[in-house]
Structure formats: C-alpha cells, structure tokens
Structure 1
C-alpha cells in the first residue's frame, strides 16, 4: 500500500479494535461483523462505480458516509456500517486498497472470535491443512478451483467437506476463499488469510517442511528456538516431505531457514548472550 492507504488502514484498524473490544452495552458479535464486512467487500468488488465514489479524493467524507449508510444500513449491522463509514472517510491511493482493507478486517473479526474462545490455533491448523489437502488431491483441487463452476457451487463442495468437522471460522474462511477470490488462486487467498490471523494474534507463522513428523517435544523446542530468534511467538504448520534432505526447512514470510542455519543462528544467539 502507498502512504495514504497505509495511514487510512491504520485509522480503520483502530476503529476495528475499538469495536471488537466492546464494552458495557456495546458487545459486537465477531462472526456477524465478519459476514457483514465480507458482504460489503463483495459489493465493492462488483461495482466499479461504487469503488470510485468511495475513494474519490474530491468527494467529502460526509457524502461518502451518507452513501454507505444509504446502501448498507438495511443490509448489514450497525457496527459494520460504522466501521465502513469511518474507513471510506479516509484517503485511499487505489480502489483496490480499500477493498483489501475491508476484507482484512473481516478476517480479523473472525480471528478475534476464535481467539476469544481459545480456538485460534485450531483455525490456523485446519485452514492450513485443508489447503494442503486441496493442493495434493487433483480431483478435490479441480472441484474447488475450477472456474468453469460458479463460486457458489465450489463453496458448496467446501461446505460438504468441512461442515461439522472444523471450526466455524475455518469453514467460513475456506468458503470465502472461493466466494471472494477476486481472481486470486485459492492457495494464495488462504495464505493471505493465515497471515492476517497470525498478525491479529501478534505472532509469526512458520511453515515447517520435514522428512518426518515432529513429535510434541520437537515442535515445542523448534517453536521456542524460533521465538527466541525472531522475538515473537511462532506458530508452526508442519508439512511432511520425504524429499527433504538434512532435517527440516522453515519458512517465515519470505525468509527460508534450513535446519543447519537454524542451529547456527541459535548458537550465535547463545554465544552473544541473547
């Protein structure tokens, strides 16, 4: 994002945090807020005229807010209207930045709900594993990603696979990855959602590729070592690959660390007394 969009997203983030924090008589249901924001995101995606109107720098913030209220007040809840009104009142470098930010806030709302009941780890793990299963199963990959089928039809495939077997946030996000793909690949959308969830949890997400499955003790020690190196809690997502030579491969964002490098980094940290 360009500078103005970053500042606008930060403004919206503060408004979202205030909504999710709630307070006496101001409770917000995270799942309902997420559904509403995904709905707004879909409306923005489907109407270039609406995107232009809500990001037009020559248009007064009050006029944009009035447009939001007129279009959405009878379609989504008051918290979503309040948040979107606040967001469109800021300056945006591109129309896409506005849509991406509304989607980001929807994912954060779902993550907040999962965090509140202690289910965030399960959501991250289930979403990651489901994407890996889809990627590794040609027939399932075709059913979920074939753009000759409607998004609704592909979402129903996901519904049939995950309903009653996964956290509600996992199901909602997996469905949204096809309903709101906006031309993006399924795996890229899921990866983006996982990154948003990790950020909301104030932790890093590490993809660990290993020739053998890690037991609980190995996972805990690896997570602890990565936490010391990066200075933040690290959540592991393990992928088994017999082709891996030399133990493990760890990817955090764009950074890749193999087992040998990890040991050297940890040794250097101990040597320096970190």
Structure 2
C-alpha cells in the first residue's frame, strides 16, 4: 500500500492506538466490517469516492455499522472513510490491518505480546507443515466459517485467542494465499510490537543461546530489536539463511554446495 492509501492506513492505525476500550472486540468488529465491504462493492465505492463529501461518507458508515458495532469501532471506521484511498479495495485492506493491529494491542495490554507473536508464527508453521490441514484451510471452495472452525478445533488450546483470530483471518486469504497472507500478518505483528521480523531457516531448531547470539547480531546490523521466526528445514544441511524484509543473507551449506557445483560445471 502506497501514497494516499498508506497515509490513510496509518491514520486508521493511529485511531486504533487511541482506543481505550476493549481492543480485542475492536479487532473482531473491524474484521467483520471488512467482510461487509468485501461483499458490497457498491458500498465500498461510495465510501471511498473522493467526490463525495467526507462528512456524508462518515455519516453513511455510522448508519451502516452503528447499530451493530461499538462506538469505538464506529469511530475508527469514520476515521477510515474520512481518509483518501487510491482504490476502493485499499479501504478494506487497511481495515484488515487495523483489525490485526487491535489484536496485537490486546495481547500487549494483557502482557501476552511475546506469547502471541511466537504462538502465531509456530502455529502457522504447524499448519503449513501438515499437508492435509494446509490443503483444508486453503480450500476456497469450502466455506470460510468451516475453515475458521477447523483451525479453532486444531489450534484453539495451543495459542492465545487473539493469535487464533489472526490465524483464522488468514484463511480468508483476501490478498493472496493463506501462506502469503499469514507471512504479511507476522511482519505486521512484529512492526506493531516495535520489532523487525527475521525469518531464519536452519537444519535444526536453534537453542536459546544460538537464538540470542543471532538476534544480537541482527539487532546491531539493523539497529532495532528483532523477532526471530525459526523454520527447521533439513534441506539446509548446515548454516542458516536469514530473511529480513527484502534482504536475504544465505550462509547455508546447501547454497555453498550448489554454487560450487555451478562453478565446476562452468
């Protein structure tokens, strides 16, 4: 998201930060609003039409959502429709990110920020590592409610409720595959907690000392606290591959062997 849409999205995130009430419920209601906007393109177009008076759009949002949602949620929605969006779909995308941000805030307020973030990543990897489960939650021919319920049945007792809600939202796959959407959510969660998300691929699970050393190196390199998301991948053979944003540092033995093979092949 860029330009005017990014600026409007940031204003919506700031509105979420300003809410003093039940932010977990705020997250749930914002995602419900996203469902409404996705199902009603005409409403989305009206609420993002730059030629329509801002107050009129805000009053329309209050009329549509005010009877169902809390005053806090309606306030965030009014902020959203008061912004300028490059495309109608950007409004729904921005509100989805705001819903995830509300869940992060709820976990932070409850002192569960680290458990939330780690649990979200590890549960996501568990889903992706189970061929049948991954296929089931990615099956767009199945009702979204059924996919969400499946995750609740499998993971409900393994993660905090807010992390489960984020995982369930990833099954909607609004902006890509379940895997890509979840990857984006993990990055957003780290950002909202003031950290960089670093995905680490290694042949084995790193112990606490190894994680601390690697996190320290990355923190010095990037000048920010780092959340390590470790993926165990036997194909790595040795060493680690680290991805931070668009930057990849590949120090794996498998890559070195492949480079040597290519060199020998000329």
The reply to whether residue 226 of structure 1 matches residue 197 of structure 2 is no
Q: Which residue of structure 2 lines up, in the alignment, with residue 6 of structure 1?
A: 6
Give unmatched runs, 5+ long, in structure 1.
Answer: 23-27, 261-274
TM-score (norm 2): 0.90
Cα contact 2:123–2:159 (8 A) shared by 1: no
Q: 1:103 aligns with which of 92, 96, 100?
A: 96
The reply to whether residue 247 of structure 1 matches residue 239 of structure 2 is yes
Q: 1:94 aligns with which of 81, 87, 91?
A: 87
Q: Which residue of structure 1 lines up, in the alignment, with residue 257 of structure 2?
A: none
Distance 2:140 2:97 in 1: 24
Deviation at 1:110, TM superposition (A): 0.3
Distance 1:238 1:79 in 2: 37
Q: Which residue of structure 2 lines up, in the alignment, with residue 77 of structure 1?
A: 70
Distance 1:144 1:2 in 2: 30
Superposed CA RMSD = 1.5
Alignment of 1:182-193 (within 5 A): 182=174, 184-193=176-185
Deviation at 1:136, TM superposition (A): 2.0
What SS does structure 2 have at the residue aligned with 1:243?
Answer: helix
The reply to whether residue 170 of structure 1 matches residue 163 of structure 2 is yes
Distance 2:95 2:54 in 1: 17
Q: Which residue of structure 2 lines up, in the alignment, with residue 257 of structure 1?
A: 249
Deviation at 1:13, TM superposition (A): 2.7
Alignment of 1:1-274 (within 5 A): 1-19=1-19, 22=20, 28-178=21-171, 180-182=172-174, 184-259=176-251
Distance 1:217 1:60 in 2: 58
Distance 2:169 2:158 in 1: 17
Deviation at 1:245, TM superposition (A): 4.1
Distance 1:224 1:118 in 2: 23
Corresponding pairs, count: 252
What SS does structure 1 have at the residue aligned with 2:173?
Answer: coil
Distance 2:7 2:16 in 1: 14
Give unmatched runs, 5+ long, in structure 2.
Answer: 253-266
Distance 1:68 1:214 in 2: 49
Deviation at 1:148, TM superposition (A): 2.2
Moved over 3 A (4+): none
Deviation at 1:85, TM superposition (A): 0.6
Distance 2:13 2:170 in 1: 22
